[in-house]
A and B are shown apart, each in its own frame.
Chain A
Amino acid sequence: MVETASEAIASAEQATALLAIHNLHVQTAEREILKGIHLTIRPGEIHAIMGPNGSGKSTLAHVLAGNPGFTVTVGSVFFNGNDLLAMAIEERARAGLFVAFQYPPEIPGVNNMQYLRTAVNTVRKSRGQSELSAAEFLSRVRTILKELGMPEEMVRRSLNEGFSGGEKKKNEILQMAMLEPRLMVLDEIDSGLDVDALELVARCALRVFEDKRSERSLVVITHYSRILRYIKPQYVHVLADGKIVESGGIAVAERIEEKGYG
């Protein structure tokens, strides 16, 4: 009874892990994209998920976030012991899951700062924390802006409207830092960033992780290994055609950098 044994392991993992993915199959209207993913992430860990285009990396991020465009046909995902797949998108966010989007949408007319304050206070309230005062909020935002090398003018503009690719990515990390999540999933955060911006973004993400290392985990989804120079993962998983085909340490990423996915 292989199934029972693996389910027994799965339930044991659910108890201790921050994220426990078991035999996850996912499809869109057209085709199956993820074909049985198993992954366990514990607090304090950094994981990298690598793979060529079309391997399903971004799909994994979308499924964790709850994107309605994807259907889970088989499998389970537990987040901090709770059934993630049964939770609404915003419940997942409030429970501490943050997914930095590969392509954050532009939302015209919505002031970035006001939006961020609404999001932060909504999430804090749901966690039983007090709302941040305007002064406290502003001072935190300013600290992070500085850390990311973002001009303050960026938060006075409409959300992502007219932002360059790099500015959008920095804005994602700003939101992440303010929302204080437990599991941070960075979906191709390195695409569209120059070397300097990449370093700032990576250092900020790492700082947020280190702030509460005992509670937080970081998942870096990437095609290239250059971001892993700044964020050193303990675990590297290689995704190909909807399955994890290899898991190992940083050496896996080093080999990919040298030889490609071949």
Chain B
Amino acid sequence: MAETPAVQEATLELHRIPNGAMSKESKLLVLKDNPHFVLPESTQTTETVAFQVSGKNCAFIVLPETAAKQAWHLKAGCELDCFFLARGFTATTEVHFTLEPQSRLRVFSLLEDCNLNWQAKAELAGEAAAFFYGLTRTAGNAQTKIALVVKHSGCGGTSEQRFFSCASENSAIEFIGRIVVEAGATGTKAHQLHRGLLLSPGARIAAEPILNIFHDDVRCTHGATIGFIDEMALHYLMARGIARAKAEAMLVAAFAGQFAALLPDEAKTFYGFESSDH
């Protein structure tokens, strides 16, 4: 089970959002150089919680039963790592990121056995960078849906999406990833990858990697695969004397390991992966 890092004091201020983008009761949290920010209890609300981020920050977010709608605004030059964790929840989560030029966002998500609809959107103005990495695992009858939109509206933005989906028993995972490059967003680089691993005949994985490109001077790629455990690898392990079930488990763990490998060390324990320090 994940160890939750100690709550660190955040500069927490309550504001009204002036431009009416959110309801009047919205809360605005100002985050500045918080290496271990954990979403406080008070934010477990159906209202939108808004964050304004500057400096270098890490946010650990364990999705509550009634997941908050979140709006994150990254100021120019800031860095933010968001770690989402949800286990066995039924909810709809909406997370909206807006990035000023020169800001850098990394979002990690581990969603396990959730009847969850996780919607995330990132809008990049100019030379910002956004990276989304996710591992979704489902079993039983769980149905997880991820809808992610990354929109480039200025020049020179970079974005990456890497999602790993692993469905067993009668569960289903649906991944819809969209890259939008607006007219004039010269020099945008966007990449998206989805890998699906189906473990049983009743399971289902659907992937929709969508590109909407309105500009010529861009480089966008996406890739998606869905398949079973690599038979060659399985046979190789079995030929070395490992039982089939064990070999399969090893390969499933290796699949998840692709996500774990992307994590910074401090997040590995949070998600329950072995830290590479060991």
Q: Find out whether A and B make contact in their complex, taking CB atoms under 8 A apart as touching.
A: no
